[in-house]
Amino acid sequence: MLNSILQRAGIVSGSSIKNTSHSSLEVVKKYLLGQPQFFGNEGYLTFGSALHEVFLQGIRDNYYKQLDKTDRVTVDSMVRKLNANPIVVSLMRNSTREHKFSVKLNKVLTVCILDAKQPELKRGFDLKTTDCNSQSAFEETVQRYGYVRQGLTYKLAAKLKFFYFIGIQKVAPFNIYIVDLDAAKFKTDMLYAEQELKFLLYFYKNYGRVLPPITKLELNGTAKEIKRK
């Protein structure tokens, strides 16, 4: 009943057997909470992708070539800083990187792209660029922006025992912040994320994707099309 009402209102796509992802579930969460959706500008996304490309894959190809000279220098400086950090080096050793895979979580097919995974040690991490200038500020960011649920999703999907976030400043001195999601301080956050993930997967399975709102321009265009017919 509710499913049909929400579909007729153009709010959801309807129950789905298609795959979802952490970012898609975040869209659902923001909609239900009345929060604005994330719309990162193209330059922001390109910069982050270039850092991942250079650091994780060791190539300077697609995204890196789209950066201007200043941003290229910044990315190279960040990569040098990451490669000089002993904890980061330890987490990168014998790892598979940029691994994309699909797995069923609560009977919902979920797509994940794991930045790095050490199969033998059953641990992985996700790399984040950040404006934070302290460890505590980055930890707060991890708690506030759904990163805890993201880490939990990857842990469950890849059957990991340990998961970390590596945050690196986007400006000099390019400080690095390591967050261990299995630390005692994140125990409550992880328990909350577990329940949140279950609910969002349930929502997606029964109601599907949250659809973008119809704009006035689109609505007027539809009206004109009907009138012509």
For residue 40, what pLDDT is reported? 60
Asked if the structure places residue 65 within a domain, the reply is yes
Asked if the structure places residue 218 within a domain, the reply is no
Segment 7-41, tens digit of pLDDT: 888 888 888 778 999 999 999 999 889 888 876 66
Segment 154-189, tens digit of pLDDT: 999 999 999 999 999 999 999 999 999 999 999 999
By residue range, what is the domain housing residue 182? 17-207
Q: Are 204 and 24 in contact (CB under 8 A)?
A: yes
Asked if the structure places residue 129 within a domain, the reply is yes
Asked if the structure places residue 12 within a domain, the reply is no
For residue 59, what pLDDT is reported? 95
Residue 73 sits in a domain of what CATH number? 3.90.320.10
- For the chain, the C-alpha Rg in angstroms (whole number) is 20
Q: How many structural domains is the chain composed of?
A: 1
pTM for this prediction:
0.87
Mean pLDDT of all residues belonging to the chain: 89
Asked if the structure places residue 3 within a domain, the reply is no
Cross-strand pairs, 116: 97, 125
Asked if the structure places residue 212 within a domain, the reply is no
Asked if the structure places residue 55 within a domain, the reply is yes
DSSP 21: E
Residue 66: which of 79, 75, 78 has the closest Cα? 75
For residue 44, what pLDDT is reported? 75
User: What confidence tier does 143 reach under pLDDT thresholds 50, 70, 90?
Assistant: very high
User: What confidence tier does 42 reach under pLDDT thresholds 50, 70, 90?
Assistant: low
Asked if the structure places residue 216 within a domain, the reply is no
Residue 137 has pLDDT above 70, yes or no: yes
